[in-house]
Amino acid sequence: MLENYFPVLLFICVGLAFGVVPIVLGRLAAPHRPDAKKLSPYECGFEAFEDARMKFDVRYYLVAILFILFDLEIAFLFPWAIVLKEIGMFGYVSMMIFLAILVVGFVYEWMKGALEWE
């Protein structure tokens, strides 16, 4: 019974080796000479003028969630369009219900002003 899990264990070990070995080799083989200039914070080639941990507007996250939502919609539409002839009218109606739910959510977000920027 335990021998059935050996390939899984081997796969995990090889995966960990591919991730850990380059890091360890880089740490051992690369020169390590810290310098004040190397360790200083910078942003896009010049000194940072703000804290990197500033708060983002919540609308940024709403737009990101909407992007993921409609990206997934497209991921569902492509396979659906390919097999539309095989699934028939039931598949068509179910996809239209799915799209209607997404449109209602999009209109709700739009009416609430989540997509408006100041």
For residue range 99-114, list pLDDT tens digits in order. Answer: 898 888 888 888 887 7
Judge whether 105 lies within some domain: yes
pLDDT of residue 100: 92
Judge whether 28 lies within some domain: yes
Per-residue pLDDT averaged across 70-85, rounded? 86
The pLDDT tens digits of the residues spanning 12-54 come to 999 999 999 999 999 999 888 888 877 777 666 666 666 667 7
CATH number at residue 38: 1.20.58
Judge whether 118 lies within some domain: no
* Phi, psi at 33, each rounded to 5°: -125, 85
pLDDT of residue 93: 94
Judge whether 117 lies within some domain: no
Range of the domain at 42: 2-112
Judge whether 79 lies within some domain: yes
Our count of domains for the chain comes to: 1
pLDDT of residue 43: 61
Judge whether 72 lies within some domain: yes
Percent of the chain exceeding pLDDT 90 equals 31
pLDDT of residue 8: 93
Q: CA 42 to CA 44: how far, in whole Å? A: 7
CB contact at 8 A, 91 and 80: yes
Count H helices, E strands: the chain? 4, 0
Judge whether 54 lies within some domain: yes
Q: CA 62 to CA 56: how far, in whole Å? A: 11
DSSP one-letter code for 43: B
